[in-house]
Structure 1
Amino acid sequence: MKILVVGAGAVGGYFGGRLLEKGEDVTFLVREGRKQQLEKTGLVIKSMHGDVVLSPKLLVSGEASEPFDVILLSMKAYHLDAALKDVNPYIGPKTVVVPLLNGMAHMKKLTEVLGEQQVLGGLCFVEATLDADGAVVQTSAIHDLVFGERSGEKSDRMTRIADAFSGTKANFELSENMDQAMWHKYLFIATLAGVTSLFRSPIGPIREDALGAVTIRQTLEEVAAIMKTVDAPLGEGIVDGNWDKLHSIAGSMKSSMQRDMEKGLSVEAEHFYGYLLEVALENGVGAPTLEKIYANLRIYEAQRSLI
């Protein structure tokens, strides 16, 4: 299959790189500056699962190419509109798009622009960042990408994609309950990103502090309550399950949002928390902890804009 990865940052570079390392036909759609960097250094992955230096095929928006079979969207949510314009020439009638963005707000836009049939469900769990030289640095045991039909159907195209995604050094998993998986990921990452960015700390010190642990629990419960008002298919006991997960992951774990703040980059405040608080307001759900997390991110963005 011809695979296009939109972005060669931490997420796209890691999972696209693992597919390329296996021998799949992978091209990265990147900006000119990143293209020049990758042409000079190669796509460098430094990981506990194996280091590799690759020579990827690269496209810059506007360059000609035949349509691709699978497109992985790995950019931040605030780049989605631009990415949809950039990727449009490379979408054919049978192209499927796998979004790896966090949250759920992007799904409506994707289906409106591309159509229901061309948008699959997707998510990933990976602790990765780009270092000063543009190398992808992946730092924990977790490196999972989950994909599937949003209807839960195990279609022929899913079988073909699963075959292409198999046999890599990352975990690519076909799910038959993708809608629930995306909401569960949203609950987990909204909590992890929220508390680590609020306290400017990895998860370990937060959960070890009594009031920090209370904040974790309150965030989980508030987000779950908001999600239930829009009939999100949350599994029984998911709050307790995520509580246990947040206490079992490495204490050094940071969210990508926290890492972006440390680098002075923009954050996905509206996509993550503005969306949830809008739903909360519409449905009369109180979310005082989430409001503090959102305010923290808004204040950060306001200060960042002054620099």
Structure 2
Amino acid sequence: MNILIVGAGATGVAVGVRLTQAGRDVTYLVRTERQRILERDGISLTEPDGRHSVSAKTVTADTLTGAFDLVIVAVKASAIAAVMEDIVPAVGPATVIVPFLNGIRHIDLLDGRYPGRVAGGLIKIVATLDERGGAVQMTALAEITIGSLGTEPMPRSVRQLLDVPGLAVVETDEVWLRLWEKWAFIASAGIVTCLFDNTVGRIQEAGGLRYIEAAIAETEAIASAAGYPPRAAAHRQSINILAEPGSPFTSSLFRDLAAGRATEAEHILGDLANRARELSVTTPLLDLTLVRVRAAELSRQRP
């Protein structure tokens, strides 16, 4: 059985290296420039236990042919529209598409384009790219959660393909709940760190704990109104991460913003704000953060 990983960013590389090491047939769908680098240097993963390097099989959108058993989508939200068209040759009648993006909107888009082929997926991993394009995993956590989005069960082959050393795979009947829980956390992390332009430890030191708690309450209220109230364990995890004294934690949204890169603000925060209005949930901190991030994005586009 074969696997197509769409995107060779930190998440795609970290997952792909482990799958390749376990003998899985992995191909990366990348752009031409990235293809040249991967074919020349291979692909690597640096983790707390050491560094691993493997060769990389790659294709570009114009050379992609033949259906794959599993398509893993691991790109930024801004690329999802192009990805939906690029993967057309890879999606056959038995293909399963598992996206590892934050939020929900990408699922609506993918399922609209490939009805019945999309499964729910999320990954918990702290990783970035090094200067040579390899993945650097900063903690031991690498957990994938998958589940059927409808009434049909998840094909057993998907878990079997993903269940390799170094990746913990959780299959659940409540994947929509898990997706909303992660979205609520990612959004609250983005609100706190982008609004106050700092790490959660310094925000607390400055007296911001009540705003951290308020941001979590806002995003969880939206999830609850949508029919997916976060479990107590998920709430505790959000508090533990975002209210840890002295923590250097920042959100990926904040890091992109600080670096002057394009952000996933509309996918993570904008879509959530739209759903909040539809559900009549008041979100003052979310709304303020959106103005702050949108203004920064305008400055980036028009210096």
**What TM-score range do you get, normalising by the shorter chain?**
over 0.9
Q: Is the 8 A contact 1:30 1:60 kept in 2?
A: yes
**Structure 1 position 252, deviation (Å):** 3.0
Secondary structure of 1:18 counterpart? helix
Deviations along 1:29-61, whole A, 9 cap, x unmatched? 000111111122211212114311111100100
The answer to whether residue 215 in structure 2 is matched with residue 216 in structure 1 is no
Give, in angstroms, the shift of residue 235 of structure 1: 3.0
Cα deviation 1:218-276 (Å, max 9, x = unaligned)? 11111122223322353357544522343469923332222322332110111111112
- 1:137 partner SS: strand
Structure 1 unaligned runs (5+)? none
| Counterpart code for 1:83 | V
Corresponding residue SS for 1:102: coil
Q: CA RMSD of the aligned region, Å?
A: 2.1
Task: Pick closer, same or farther for the CA change 1:207–1:249 going to 2, 3 Å.
Answer: closer
Match of 1:262 among 242, 258, 264: 258
Check 1:249–1:154 CA distance in 2 against 1; reply closer, same or farther (3 A cut): farther
Q: In the alignment, residue 223 of structure 2 is paired with which amino acid? A: M
CA 1:112–1:233: 2 relative to 1, 3 Å: farther
Q: Distance in 2 between matches of 1:29 and 1:249?
A: 41
Does the Cα contact within 8 Å between 2:123 and 2:145 map onto a contact in 1? Answer: yes
What is the TM-score of this pair, normalised by structure 1? 0.91
Matches within 5 A, 1:240-259: 240-247=236-243, 251-259=247-255
Q: CA deviation at 1:3?
A: 0.5
Kindly indicate whether residue 186 of structure 2 is the aligned counterpart of residue 186 of structure 1: no
Q: Check whether the contact 2:204–2:243 (CA below 8 A) recurs between aligned residues.
A: yes
| 2-structure distance, mates of 1:164, 1:92 | 17
Match of 2:226 in 1: 230
1:122-171 alpha-carbon deviations (Å, 9 max, x no partner): 0111111112221212112322221121247654x1x2221221232132
Q: Of the candidates 276, 281, 284, which is equivalent to residue 280 of structure 2? A: 284
- Measured in 1, the distance between the counterparts of 2:220 and 2:271 equals 14
Equivalent residue pairs, number? 303
Matches within 5 A, 1:2-81: 2-81=2-81
- Distance in 2 between residues matched to 1:225 and 1:281, nearest whole Å: 12
SS in structure 1 opposite 2:87? helix
Counterpart of 1:146, as a letter, is T
Cα–Cα, structure 1 residues 217 and 204, in superposed 2: closer, same or farther, change >3 Å?
same
Q: 1:15 to 1:282 in 2, by over 3 A?
A: same
1:92-151, Cα deviation, whole Å (9 max, x unpaired): 000000011100122211111100x21100011111111222121211232222112124
Residue identity in the other structure for 2:212: I
